[in-house]
Amino acid sequence: MPISQAIGAPIPNNTDHAVSVTLPTWEATVGYEEGQDWVVNKMHSGYPRFFVHSKVKELSRLLELNYAKDNEKSMIFPTYEVAKRCREFIKSKTLLPNCSIRILQLSTAPPKTDEEKSFKVETQIAVVFFPGSEFSLAKAYWQHTGEGVSSRLGEYVLNELGEKLEATASKERKMTKQNSNRSSSGRNSRSSISSLQNNQEYSTFIEERFGRNLDLRFAKEAKSILRHRIATTHSAELSDDDVYLCSSGMTAIFTAHHLLLNTMESKDLKSVCFGFPYVDTLNILKKWGAGVHFYGFGDDDSLDDLEKRLEGGERILSLFCECPSNPLLKTPDLIRIKKLGDKYNFVVVVDDTVGNMTNLNVLPYTDIVTSSLTKVFSGDSNVMGGSLVLNPKSNFYAKFKEYLDENFEDLLWAQDAIYLERNSRDFEARSKKINHNAIEVLKFFEKSPLLEQVYYPSTMSSKNHYDALKKADGGYGGLMSIVFKDQADAVCFFNNVKLSKGPSLGTNFTLICPYSILAHYQELDEIEQWGVDRNLVRLSIGLEPTQELLETLKEALDSSVEQHNV
């Protein structure tokens, strides 16, 4: 795969719905986090929960031209229930007195013929209009929950409604005799609609040319296959009906927490975040419900402390953890945690994305398993998705099952489901290849005198906890973090390595980022108290020929050695 080093280029290259984005140097990553124009102005793509896709932005712009009141902005969601949650979140956080927030629902036309059913489906969106000053709150909801419209859904609705919205907006502009600048904007809008149609025709051509034409009639079947694939990968005894598909991995985590807040008598109790997690898991537990106890080390001593608190009479709603954690690759003692959960009546929710369901069997030691299907399960870095799985042997199963069967909304857009199904057909084979490559990369890094530490599940003191969960034919996954003895070496290595550089993980190609800078730039001092070095570099190992990958890494490490000799 050609590797772009252009700031803001999608990863993979020339991918309309890419999940990752190129930040090719350490300096560019810092510039992005600081909002520097030389980086931000080139960001035409981004991770979907942080960066609103251009098609979704265009749809928002047209909706605002047609329906917004003075100074209102908009955020688009797939259903009215999600839009209501966003409205409730903004109202709970805003400092504005009498903050007016409106919701508009729109539908696309249903197919009229059997032929149209292959490319047309009736769908709805819910648009939240709010004062422009509160955009950051709406964007926070979008980011934390992952419940915003997917880029493909936004594109579909724009294709269906864009011309009508543009025509209505143009007519309104003429009637109100708005200034020439806005008229010019209107001309640009018509051009963008025309461009959009041309792009759509090109995309359709590519799909048909390579035998991957999307037939929307198969969306329901694709979702059924996905649920079965996930169920059987977890356990031969798991029912497909206990698998719930979500629009992203973070949506699965948010759905799990929302489930607890609506079913548990102890919903007014705090939850526990066990281990240093991905940032938005902690945000969800902080911003919804009674709050969170944060055990950032996630080790056996932390678990001793939690057990003492529970023995002393303190109660908790739930314990959320990653298995293993991102980016430190620590594995919690799930067996002991589940025993504590059963004894003290709290819910255990485990995100197994990093270890992934082909390597680990976490289900017996959890009540709920969440996974990001965006990562290794898909691999192609061109679609978002997630899953929530109920453990049928959980003490809470009947309660959770009843609630979800009555209230769960399937937010996974039809086209995204079709892509996920196709991408994941060779999921297990790809996972094994990634496991193999990662072990070889680990051996290579362990020989380097430049490195202070290599984080990988098999090198951690928690390896015994990982091995207790590892399937007989499983491995240790593809995620690895390294810390250099000298920051200058870390910067030199990252800037010179000829690999894709950007956010996300689990891609079929090796993906690398200065993780602490990218995910925690505003809190570098704080994360170091939890053992996360500010100069940590994270690698998600891919499917490249092993020797080729090792040579690429060696070349970059050699550049760091050479700088010492200059």
Contacts of 48 (CB under 8 A, 6+ apart): 19, 148, 150, 151, 248, 384
Task: Examine the domain organization and report whether 403 and 474 are in the same domain.
Answer: no
Nearest to 29 by CA among 544, 484, 479, 517: 517
Q: Render pLDDT for 111-165 as a digit per residue (tens, 0 to 9).
A: 999 999 999 999 999 999 999 999 999 999 999 999 999 999 999 999 999 999 9
* pLDDT number for residue 565: 67
Task: Examine the domain organization and report whether 501 and 396 are in the same domain.
Answer: no
Residue 457 DSSP code: T
* pLDDT number for residue 563: 78
Task: Please say if the pLDDT value at position 323 is more than 80.
Answer: yes
Tell me, yes or no, whether 227 lies in a domain. no
Tokens coding 79: 């259903």
Between the alpha carbon of residue 227 and those of residues 78, 213, 397, the distances in Å are: 21, 22, 18
Residues composing the chain: 566
Task: Please say if the pLDDT value at position 202 is more than 50.
Answer: no
DSSP 379-409: -SSS---EEEEE-TTSTTHHHHHHHHHHH--
Distance between CA atoms of residues 24 and 8, nearest Å: 9
Cβ–Cβ under 8 Å, residues 287 and 144: yes
* pLDDT number for residue 2: 55
**If you average pLDDT over residues 526-551, what whole number do you get?**
97
Distance between CA atoms of residues 247 and 149, nearest Å: 9
Which of 393, 425, 457 is the last residue in one of the domains?
425
pLDDT-above-70 percentage for the chain: 92
**If you average pLDDT over residues 40-58, what whole number do you get?**
93
Tell me, yes or no, whether 507 lies in a domain. yes
* pLDDT number for residue 188: 39
**If you average pLDDT over residues 401-411, what whole number do you get?**
98
Nearest to 503 by CA among 30, 47, 44: 47
Structurally, how many domains does the chain consist of?
Answer: 3
Task: Examine the domain organization and report whether 447 and 346 are in the same domain.
Answer: no
Tell me, yes or no, whether 337 lies in a domain. yes
**If you average pLDDT over residues 72-97, what whole number do you get?**
97
Distance between CA atoms of residues 255 and 372, nearest Å: 13
Residue 445 DSSP code: H
Which of 39-53, 63-77, 203-217, 406-420 is predicted with the least confidence, judged by mean pLDDT? 203-217
Angle formed by the axes of helices 219-234 and 414-423, to 10°? 50
* pLDDT number for residue 181: 46
Point out which residues pair with 10 in neighbouring strands: 21
Nearest to 539 by CA among 566, 561, 506, 563: 506
Task: Examine the domain organization and report whether 525 and 509 are in the same domain.
Answer: yes
* Per-residue pLDDT band at 547 (split at 50, 70, 90): very high
H or E, element range at 372: strand 368-372
Distance between CA atoms of residues 416 and 374, nearest Å: 10
Task: Examine the domain organization and report whether 40 and 63 are in the same domain.
Answer: no
- Domain interval for residue 519: 10-49+427-565
Tell me, yes or no, whether 224 lies in a domain. no
* pLDDT number for residue 106: 97
Which of 425, 451, 483 is the last residue in one of the domains?
425
Tell me, yes or no, whether 25 lies in a domain. yes
Tell me, yes or no, whether 367 lies in a domain. yes
Task: Examine the domain organization and report whether 189 and 66 are in the same domain.
Answer: yes
Q: Render pLDDT for 251-297 as a digit per residue (tens, 0 to 9).
A: 999 999 999 999 999 999 999 999 999 999 999 999 999 999 999 99
Task: Examine the domain organization and report whether 255 and 399 are in the same domain.
Answer: yes
* Per-residue pLDDT band at 351 (split at 50, 70, 90): very high
Instruction: Look over the chain and give the mean of its residue pLDDT values, rounded to a whole number.
Output: 92
With the CA atoms of 262, 265, 268 and 271 taken in that order, what torsion angle do they form, in degrees rounded to the nearest 10?
-80
**If you average pLDDT over residues 374-378, what whole number do you get?**
98
Tell me, yes or no, whether 1 lies in a domain. no
Between the alpha carbon of residue 6 and those of residues 42, 491, 493, 500, 540, the distances in Å are: 9, 18, 18, 11, 20
Distance between CA atoms of residues 467 and 451, nearest Å: 26
With the CA atoms of 325, 330, 336 and 342 taken in that order, what torsion angle do they form, in degrees rounded to the nearest 10?
-10
* Per-residue pLDDT band at 170 (split at 50, 70, 90): confident
Distance between CA atoms of residues 106 and 451, nearest Å: 55
DSSP 82-119: HHHHHHHHHHHH--STT---EEEEEEPPPPSSTTGGGT
Cβ–Cβ under 8 Å, residues 498 and 471: no
* pLDDT number for residue 3: 78
Task: Examine the domain organization and report whether 245 and 370 are in the same domain.
Answer: yes
* pLDDT number for residue 204: 46
Residue 498 DSSP code: -
Q: Render pLDDT for 212-263 as a digit per residue (tens, 0 to 9).
A: 467 999 999 999 999 999 999 999 999 999 999 999 999 999 999 999 999 9
Task: Examine the domain organization and report whether 174 and 43 are in the same domain.
Answer: no
* pLDDT number for residue 182: 41
Distance between CA atoms of residues 211 and 216, nearest Å: 15
Cβ–Cβ under 8 Å, residues 281 and 253: yes
Instruction: Give the global pTM.
Output: 0.93
Q: What is the b/e burial string over 535-555, where b = at least 16 CB atoms within 10 angstroms of the residue's CB?
A: bbbbbbbbbbebeebbebbee
Task: Please say if the pLDDT value at position 183 is more than 80.
Answer: no
* Per-residue pLDDT band at 173 (split at 50, 70, 90): low
> Domain with 250 in it: what CATH number?
3.40.640.10
Tell me, yes or no, whether 20 lies in a domain. yes
DSSP 244-296: EEESSHHHHHHHHHHHHHHH-TTTTSPEEEESS--HHHHHHHHHSSS-EEEET
* pLDDT number for residue 298: 98
Task: Please say if the pLDDT value at position 62 is more than 80.
Answer: yes
Task: Examine the domain organization and report whether 156 and 204 are in the same domain.
Answer: yes
* pLDDT number for residue 175: 62
Task: Examine the domain organization and report whether 363 and 325 are in the same domain.
Answer: yes
Task: Please say if the pLDDT value at position 28 is more than 70.
Answer: yes
With the CA atoms of 252, 257, 263 and 266 taken in that order, what torsion angle do they form, in degrees rounded to the nearest 10?
160
Distance between CA atoms of residues 501 and 442, nearest Å: 19
Which of 380, 396, 425 is the last residue in one of the domains?
425
Task: Examine the domain organization and report whether 473 and 417 are in the same domain.
Answer: no
Q: What is the b/e burial string over 137-146, where b = at least 16 CB atoms within 10 angstroms of the residue's CB?
A: bbbbbbbbbb
